[in-house]
Structure 1
């Protein structure tokens, strides 16, 4: 690759795809300041807003995924897919990339498939421990496949795999906030065990309902809550917080580093980015995987940690009965907390973005 090489990064749809994509872009620029980077996403998806905020250009494709809940909405899919391939053809011709990186999401497939047909080096970042079907199809002709965990040979050609982990936000990697500063930030009591409940930016119905139904168990056991509810449950949770000073509730937490610092125990979904951040934060976690994620990959992500004694797992369907008793028992068991903290901490990766960027630049130079 000549100095000032050109790289396309394709994908998006969720924070779990967009965040690592932006982190890889930052790392590429850091290692090779003259590199030109273009993002390709799906029109109407959150990457169209988040990528420009991070300082990069993005082109949106007219593409959508298969709608499982309403088959009638899939009528236009073949036309959108054909149109997206025409759009990609034009983008590749105009931008002439030296490499294309796919991070998952609707736009990944047409961009990487088209690049492979033209003999352009392609790279895949698979964040989950259960690979998506599109990535498996693309993996056969990819130059290199970056994965988060071991055991991915069942999805991809073994010789192309490189275990890098998942890129984690720098404010969490470099977090120096103490527990007492975190507790103070939420106006809670430093002498009490603190549980941080998070269902991601959209919230988690199963987790929220389980917490709400068993809220008295926290109060009776002198355990306090930092409860990120998502928009849909914010009103109910705020009413709970108003009547109890042991509960801090809000729809969203922008400064996650304070929540991680304050927490003794975390309740979380098991998206790839959440798992990566929790490994870096070194917290005992009770995972409640989202049961409707594609290929049930969140359960696979959580089970991967459970197998290494680095986390606990409660099914979403059993959360109402089992989640809070499990968390209260863990809050009382210092030895189990210590074991989970140490084991999850050993899985932490803090430089995945740079490892990916360096390998891409090495292989196309």
Structure 2
């Protein structure tokens, strides 16, 4: 089987694509792959490290307001379609799967027009322009949130979940339970994981720094992932509190699935991949959605968890050190509340998401 995968721009599009490729490898060791991204996108760096054949097209997104740039975007799109068509003719894929981002547009469109089975995977509760456009041409639309089905043709929608969810569950089963100990934390205390994303999130960092004196009094501990950008400045603030021994600060976590399986509460933004991971594991969360994303989709993602009591949502405009610490106490300090939130998360977790997407792919290939 030959599978062409495309997706890029952010980790939220790339990591589900890679998780899906690993799922295929689990089921079919002889499958061959081609990944199409952009030369300057994050995918160029990440996918090449995975030793997956990688090709590029040049594409950008549409401006939401009328702009001459959109004329140039249309021209780039048409050229990218021609380039993608050549890659497709050379590779001869059995199926093409797009996981989001501008690059999916010309690649999936070219494949659909050639009559090749196509799937797009939508991670967020509110889809972007590219997937809305492609939904008219593809065979199936795989979604991660039930709320997003309203944006797509009903006959094409299949709720599969995010492949990253299954990957995290499988990693948790293999965990030896000592990742936190290696980071300098206790295995006997409840742990709050605070993450601002790979580049950090200033409001979250400021709120944690504002609570340092209070953390000394807590019987739980914190693993604080600052992001590379903020690490040195946050580390200096921690060093000003010499008796503070229940917070460990790191710039980045490379093996996040193992860490997630050992903590009791997550404080983070509300990216789709993060939420798929936490719900699959039954991990309660406090979510601070980024207000700077398209269509405010992070808040909508977060509200879908809040609606089943899997998460508490704090808007960035309402964020303060006191508010954040109060919510942490309310969850970590109340076993009944924590258990209720765990069950809420599990109620919408998609622990076999990768396998469901794989089965959908096989079904389409066999129908060809």
Global fold match (TM > 0.5): yes
Are residues 204 and 161 of structure 1, via their aligned partners in 2, closer, same or farther at CA, if it must alter by over 3 Å?
Answer: same
Corresponding residue for 1:230? 227
Structure 1 67/239 Cα, relative in aligned 2: closer, same or farther at 3 Å? farther
Note the C-alpha offset of 1:219: 2.3
- Paired residues of 2:143 and 2:149 also in contact (CA < 8 A): no
Which of residues 22, 31, 34 in structure 1 aligns to 2:18?
22
Instruction: Note the alpha carbon deviations across 1:69-128, whole angstroms, 9 max, x for none.
Output: xx8988954443333223112222322323211100121011112222222221111111
Distance 1:328 1:73 in 2: 49
CA distance in 2, matches of 1:22, 1:276: 15
Deviation for aligned residue 1:166: 0.7
State the partner residue of 1:185: 182
CA deviation vs aligned residue, 1:224-252 (integer Å, no higher than 9, x gap) = 22100001110122123333222100110
Q: What SS class does the counterpart of residue 37 from structure 2 fall into?
A: strand
Superposition deviation, residue 314 in structure 1? 0.5
The equivalent residue for 2:204 is 207
- Does structure 1 conserve the Cα–Cα contact (< 8 Å) formed by 2:168 and 2:277? no
Task: Tell me the residue number matched to 1:348.
Answer: 349
Please list, as runs of the form range in 1=range in 2, the aligned pairs for 1:314-329 lying within 5 A after superposition. 314-320=314-320, 322-329=323-330
Q: Deviations over 1:200-220 (max 9, x none)?
A: 222112211111122223223
State the match for 1:195 in structure 2.
Answer: 192
Distance change >3 Å, CA 17–CA 82, structure 1 → 2? same
Q: How many aligned positions are there? A: 359
**What is the distance in 2 between the residues matched to 1:236 and 1:72?**
41
Match in the other structure for 2:363 = 362
Ranges in structure 1 where 5+ consecutive residues have no aligned partner = none
Q: Give, in angstroms, the shift of residue 296 of structure 1.
A: 1.3
Structure 2's unaligned 5+ residue stretches are none
TM-score by length of 1: 0.90
Measure how far apart 1:178 and its partner are: 6.5
Q: Would you say the 8 A contact 1:85–1:111 is kept in 2?
A: yes
1:173 aligned onto 2:170: yes
- Runs of 4+ more than 6 Å apart: 71-75
- Looking at structure 2, the residues matched to 140 and 239 of structure 1 have their Cα atoms a distance apart, in angstroms, of 52
Instruction: Say if 1:190 and 1:362 are closer, same or farther in 2 by CA, change over 3 A.
Output: closer
1:39 and 2:35 equivalent?
yes
Q: Is the 8 A contact 1:100 1:121 kept in 2?
A: yes
Within a 5 Å distance, the mapping from 1:169-318 to structure 2 comes to 170=167, 172-176=169-173, 177=175, 181-190=178-187, 192-242=189-239, 243=242, 244-318=244-318
Contact between 1:185 and 1:258, CA under 8 Å: does it hold in 2? Answer: no
The CA RMSD measured in Å over matched residues stands at 2.4
Aligned partner (choices 71, 75, 78) of residue 82 of structure 1? 78
